[in-house]
Amino acid sequence: MAGGSAGSRDVAIVSVAQSTHERAKVATNEVELIQPVIQQALEQIGATIADIGFVCSGSTDYLAGQAFSFVMTLDAVGAWPPIAESHVEMDGAWALYEAWVKIQAGHADTALVFSYGKSSPGDLPNVLSRQLDPYYYQPLWPSSVGLAGIQARAMIDGGAITERRMAEIAYASRTAAANNPFAQLRSSAAVDDLLAEPYLSDPLRRHDCAPISDGGVAVVLATGDAAARWADRPAWIRGIDHRVDGHNFGARDLTVAPSAALAGQRAGVGDDKVDVAELHAPFTHQHQMLVDAFGLGDGTDVNPSGGALAANPMMAAGLLRLGEVAGRIMSGAADRGVAHATSGHLLQQNLVAVLEGA
């Protein structure tokens, strides 16, 4: 199909900004959290909101515990005079997808995309249990960690991973995050020490789980002249696609993520070498599942930022992956990268983008 996941217009990420990610940002509300991030994303390329053709954000009311929680956050954009704007009740990676579609449709040439999440007001694993089938799953209040444990067990039993490999992933992620000043967890005990820890939700130990984080991220998209004006080396989106799997966890093979593999294939992950990949894996075993789904080899630097295991602001952690890959391409550290975002439990929904420097 013409267009498809490659698009007919060249669109690039030209600016990325993020907050630090912390367990609880108790002083600031959502507006105060995201305002400096948006401002930085615009200021560092010399742009103002007047230069932006479309604005799209991602967040969810259930984290904030407030209906219409995104409405006030609009104050951080400066929507006066009025702006062309939309919001997804999803991770910001899907807000970026909506903005990319808008640009492909010719409705805009530039876009500001941002997302944020404060998980600290509620008890996250409990809150996330509300994102389940309301008739059969919700009444059981299954925690997100408990569900992930079932998936990890299936992978271990199927020979797809070991507890040691999971600990190695945790160790690698958090030691990589030592170079990421925005990350929440930036160091790790040795693998043997991690394996000596008790189970949190067998076979998951604490180190297998992403931290609970408050944070936000903003990126600017541009095509054509604006991209050239705003970035020496834009991170061009060469392919982007997203897919969803079924929700009935008892009816699908939990050890694989077909929607991730399909999105990766359609985005063109395997068409060329991958210098860097940022995978949105809130659990160590899911990291492995995604590496396998995308066929990433030794030549790929996976999650140099530390990934979601080092900082996992809900609704922002997916868009952060796009931002991290874009940052490495814009700096010249990588030529071609893959960014992945997920939504829902057990990697049910997945988005993949391929970014290139040329």
The binding track of 264-283 with respect to another protein, each residue x by CB under 8 A or -, is --------------------
Task: Decide: 67 and 61 in contact? Cβ < 8 Å.
Answer: yes
Task: Decide: 115 and 216 in contact? Cβ < 8 Å.
Answer: yes
Closer residue to another protein in complex, CB, 7/327 = 7
In sign, the C-alpha dihedral spanning 284, 285, 286, 292 is positive
Local structure of 156: helix, strand or coil: helix
| Distance between CA atoms of residues 99 and 94, nearest Å | 8
* Footprint on residues 157-216 left by another protein (CB under 8 A): none
Closer residue to another protein in complex, CB, 60/201 = 60
Alpha helical stretches, state H, 203-257: 224-230
Closer residue to another protein in complex, CB, 205/242 = 242
Cβ of residue 118: shortest distance to another protein, in angstroms?
A: 7
- Which of 45, 74, 156, 189 lies at the binding interface for another protein (CB under 8 A)? 74
Cβ of residue 313: shortest distance to another protein, in angstroms?
A: 15
Single out the residue of 7, 72, 88, 91 nearest to residue 33, CA to CA.
Answer: 72
Single out the residue of 115, 194, 110, 203 nearest to residue 155, CA to CA.
Answer: 203
Closer residue to another protein in complex, CB, 43/157 = 43
Instruction: Choose the stretch contacting another protein; rule: CB under 8 A; options: 99-107, 142-150, 158-166, 184-192.
Output: 99-107
Cβ of residue 296: shortest distance to another protein, in angstroms?
A: 22
Residues 6+ apart with CB under 8 A from 133: 247, 248
Structure tokens at 228: 């050239």
Residue 333 binding another protein, by CB under 8 A? no
Cβ of residue 326: shortest distance to another protein, in angstroms?
A: 20
| Distance between CA atoms of residues 133 and 248, nearest Å | 8
- Which of 41, 47, 90, 322 lies at the binding interface for another protein (CB under 8 A)? 90
Structure tokens at 320: 């952060």
Residue 246 binding another protein, by CB under 8 A? yes
Closer residue to another protein in complex, CB, 310/354 = 354
Cβ of residue 101: shortest distance to another protein, in angstroms?
A: 5
Residue owning tokens 């936000």: 216
Instruction: Choose the stretch contacting another protein; rule: CB under 8 A; options: 122-130, 269-277, 295-303, 319-327.
Output: 122-130
Cβ of residue 153: shortest distance to another protein, in angstroms?
A: 22
Which run of H or E residues covers position 21?
Answer: none
- Which of 46, 139, 158, 297 lies at the binding interface for another protein (CB under 8 A)? 139
- Which of 227, 256, 262, 281 lies at the binding interface for another protein (CB under 8 A)? 262
Residue 115 binding another protein, by CB under 8 A? no
| Distance between CA atoms of residues 250 and 252, nearest Å | 6
Number of residues that bind another protein (CB under 8 A): 89
Cβ of residue 202: shortest distance to another protein, in angstroms?
A: 25
Which run of H or E residues covers position 230?
Answer: helix 224-230
Local structure of 91: helix, strand or coil: coil
Which run of H or E residues covers position 1?
Answer: none
Closer residue to another protein in complex, CB, 86/179 = 86
- Which of 13, 37, 132, 290 lies at the binding interface for another protein (CB under 8 A)? 132
CA angle 34, 120, 141 (to 5 degrees): 130
Q: How many residues does the chain have?
A: 358
Tell me the backbone φ, ψ of residue 243, rounded to 5 degrees.
Answer: -145, 160
Instruction: Choose the stretch contacting another protein; rule: CB under 8 A; options: 105-113, 145-153, 162-170, 189-197.
Output: 105-113
- Which of 208, 245, 275, 278 lies at the binding interface for another protein (CB under 8 A)? 245
Closer residue to another protein in complex, CB, 128/329 = 128
